[in-house]
Homo-oligomer: A and B are copies of this chain.
Amino acid sequence: MKRKHEHTPEDSAPNTISDATLRGFVGYRMKRAFNVVQEDLTTTLRPFDLRMLTYTALVLIVDNPGLRQSQLADAMDIERPNLVVIIDELERRELIVRDRVPTDRRAYALRTTLAGRQLYEKAVAAVTVHEGKLLAGLDDATITTVFDALRTIEKARKRG
């Protein structure tokens, strides 16, 4: 069995570290790239006092007014208990409201306030600009290919 990668001699510390084996895996490459994107997103959202999860929740509530917490948790792929604190924060800051649903008094219909919608507009615009810079080195066709490929991988969960 032939070695895929050369190893450094065993008696001294390598000057430069090789990640050649790991580079063969999508997971490694995705994590590295995503770290950069997430770091950028975090700094982009900081002026708005939003974190990734509060931002995601806000966007989804603006786009889907009246949705239930369980629906939102489902869409965000997080457990219901973890969504509660996110909603708490958005509600405390008066960006959204929890409206009681008359037909089902267990549930809340989530809606944004005017302030929430205004913050949404500003935050989405800022994130759009920042992501544009991250993708500056890629042409439109490549971006489309990448987006489609990511979707394919995402959907591969079911087919496993």
Contacts and interface: CB of A to CB of B under 8 A. Distances in A.
B101 A13 contact: yes
Contacts of A85: none
B22 A59 contact: yes
B150 A13 contact: no
A24 interface: yes
B152 A14 contact: no
Q: Is the interface of A mostly helix, strand, loop or mixed?
A: helix
Given A30-B33, A35-B77, A133-B156, A14 B150 contact: no
Contacts of A143: 26, 149
Contacts of A67: 13-14, 17
Contacts of A13: 66-68, 71, 101, 107, 109
Contacts of A10: 65-66, 111
Given A7-B63, A153-B135, A145 B142 contact: yes
Interface of A: 5, 7-14, 17-22, 24-41, 52, 56, 59-60, 62-68, 71-72, 74-75, 77, 101, 107, 109, 111, 124, 127-128, 131, 133-138, 142-143, 145-147, 149-154, 156-157, 159-160
